[in-house]
Structure 1
């Protein structure tokens, strides 16, 4: 895992059931997902909690589509679906996030 996941995005161990379900769905390790996408996962969970609705993987996947990185070790990312997604990218630049492996 990269430090920015914990420091900036509030990702905590153990992962929530929603995060585990998402990682299982995309069949990937946590460090294969770009940091901005962890931000999407976190803010979706917070929004659902604040609104008092169930955190749902099918609802999340309605708004985002998985984009595969360049093989063989590409970073996975999420693109807003045809409707543009729910949230904009996190303002922090993560160009050097790979240098901060935890």
Structure 2
């Protein structure tokens, strides 16, 4: 893996330092997901990792613009679709803002 200039984002590279074709990465990911016999294996794809990264960064309070840069999106509107928050994060935000029962 190598770092993306200026962002520190890891990119995959083969033994010769070349980027593999996207379908190769996706196919290998799918192979290992199936091999792991995960319950939702048919819904998982390598792109799921992209969504998870955006969601986790968002839940940690990373600004949307920063997440957008990390995920290499053209604008923050695209990133907003990746920023799924867990119910626990939303509950905590409400409690911190308005207090408990």
TM-score by length of 2: 0.21
**RCO higher in 1 or 2 (8 Å CA, sep ≥ 6)?**
1
Q: Give the greater-gyration-radius structure (CA).
A: 2
Instruction: Using structure 1 for the length normalisation, give the TM-score.
Output: 0.21
